[in-house]
Amino acid sequence: MSNNKATDPAQVFGEWVTNWERAVNSFSNKLMETDDFSRAVNSVQNTQLQMQKVFAEMMAKQLANLNMPSRNDVLDLVEAMHALENRFEKMEMQLKKISGAMEAGTKTKAKGPARTKKAPADAKK
């Protein structure tokens, strides 16, 4: 049996891939769990974010000089619209609640299959 496995190239290749994957993952995980790795990665990320922030500020100034709205101005408008949508949604929900309560205190059951299914006989609590 073991001879069959050893002579099956597909199986040998599959095992080699699995072992290679485990070895790389294990080595990388050991490297990445060090303080040095966390410090280095976060340092690079902080630098990128700083550059992104400076660039965004410069762009906003240029747009203001051209008398054009910045991304933040547009986002503020979208946010105002979003707040209005949320208020409408809440009002709609309140109205539905009120109209539901007016229906003689009983809820109308939605159409669909009967909700009467019993638990299987072998299912004991």
Please report, as ranges, the residues that interact with another protein according to CB under 8 A. 4, 7-10, 13-14, 17-18, 20-21, 24-25, 28-29, 32-33, 35, 37-39, 41-43, 45-46, 49-50, 52-53, 56, 75, 78-79, 82, 86, 89, 93, 96, 100, 107-110, 112-120, 123-125
Contact 69, 63 (CB under 8 A): yes
Q: What is the DSSP string of 2-30?
A: HHHHHH-HHHHHHHHHHHHHHHHHHHHHH
Question: Residue 120, by phi and psi: left (phi above 0), alpha (psi -120 to 50) or beta?
Answer: beta
Closer residue to another protein in complex, CB, 22/61: 22
Helix axes 35-65, 71-102, angle to 10 degrees: 100
Nearest approach in angstroms of CB 62 to another protein is: 19
Based on CB atoms, which residue is closest to another protein, 33 or 68?
33
> Is residue 89 left, alpha or beta, with left meaning phi > 0 and alpha meaning psi from -120 to 50?
alpha
Q: How far apart are CA 31 and CA 90, in angstroms?
A: 51
Whichever of 18 and 62 has its CB closer to another protein, that residue is 18
CB of 109 to another protein, least distance (A): 4
Nearer of residues 35 and 67 to another protein, judged by Cβ: 35
Least gap, CB of 2 to another protein (angstroms): 15
